[in-house]
Amino acid sequence: MAKRDRLSGNEAIAIALRQINPDVFPAFPITPSTEIPQYFASFVANGQVDTEFIPVESEHSSMSAAIGASAAGARSLTATSSCGLAYMWEELYIAASNRLPLALALVNRALSGPININCDHSDSMGARDAGWIQMYAENNQEAYDNMVQAYRIAEHKDVRLPIMICQDGFITSHAVENMELLEDEEVKNFVGEYEPENYLLNPDCPMAVGPYSITDYYMEAKRNQAEGMKHVEKVVLEVAEEFAKLSGREYGLFEAYRLEDAEYAVVMIGSAAGTTKDAIDKLREQGEKVGLLKIRLYRPFPAEAIAKALQGVKAVAVMDRAEGYTNHGGPLGADVMAALYRARSQALAVNYIYGLGGRDVRVEDMEGIFATLKQIAADGDAGETYRYLGIRE
């Protein structure tokens, strides 16, 4: 039976972790993710979990400790933001290449410089090719639900890869929303016990983790890692189907909002999708055929499914909350446009950089985007495909 509550996104993640009761949680504080280990430490102190909570001296150490625990056969995780993720850089690749299904609760925050503590996606987008599964949430409910599903995905025998559960700093992490929590026993049964096949503390099967790989073997190791990624989409959908039976909340690789007959669409990640939905509802009342494709699973990138969902669209705006510094747009724009190209889509596409450093995105801004898309379709020309939204020129 669902329990209604009013929670911030950080507290919702911490409660999901309490219900999961992981084995090891190393942590080092950084804004705006600090509340996650802070809340969880109180659960440890109160005896609500039997997790080994380890305060460490840096984010590099927190990921190192999580990797060590996972390699030893424990269910482990940590949490971070922004420069903390950047400080873990080396370890992110190690976790993925060793096929360790640990979790990271990432609260998205702009990377320095200049110093900024507010939301954009530059941290996780910088790590997009580290070999981690990446899932994003629009709101607190989705952040909680994604975390409940995380280990079922990462630990699946066909996957065995680390997973990054992302939410927007302050916008969801600190804002309080009404939401529904599952019962503790429901989460415990859904997630299940972690039963690794191979681990360092298994006396019946001596093994090494992170060995040196010469030229003869390195490429095969990376190919094996990529093979795990090939199974992620299927597993995400299977876990989501089971979660829907438990919670009544349905998830997929993405959410298609009023997209069935849309002629103009926006593709984006994260909390600004809620603002975009408000704009869509308003424009739909005026007879405009507009829609949204909100990415949930970004790595691996579900290119074929996205292209299929956008196949009837005349013009599309891909919204990046991170700059790619390619002179052509951001990382999401590159991925979506490549997907459309491979599908031989006739849709005219533009890429907007928006919301950097937490800059507000209003309903009126998104209405303006749809008006631009309508004009692009009428002109038959996308014009400048690399644009900024809400910039002071």
Residue partners of 143: CB distance under 8 A and separation at least 6? 9, 12, 13, 137, 165, 167, 172
Q: Domain locations in the chain?
A: 3-246, 254-388
Paired tokens of 151: 């280990």
CA quadruple 249, 253, 257, 262: dihedral, nearest 10: -150
Please indicate whether the domains covering 3-246 and 254-388 agree at the CATH topology level: yes
Among residues 85, 87, 79, 78, the alpha carbon closest in space to that of 33 is found at: 79
CA distance 40 to 51: 9
Fold of 254-388: Rossmann fold (3.40.50)
> Tokens 């790989």 correspond to what residue?
213
Fold of 3-246: Rossmann fold (3.40.50)
pTM over 0.95: yes
Among residues 294, 222, 220, 287, the alpha carbon closest in space to that of 252 is found at: 294
In this predicted structure, the answer to whether residue 2 has a pLDDT above a threshold of 90 is: no
In this prediction, residues 180-200 reach a mean pLDDT of 96
pLDDT in tens, 305-348: 999 999 999 999 999 999 999 999 999 999 999 999 999 999 99
Concatenating the DSSP letter of every residue in 232-249 gives: HHHHHHHHHHHHHHHHS-
First vs last C-alpha separation in the chain: 52
pLDDT in tens, 154-177: 999 999 999 999 999 999 999 999
In this predicted structure, the answer to whether residue 210 has a pLDDT above a threshold of 90 is: no
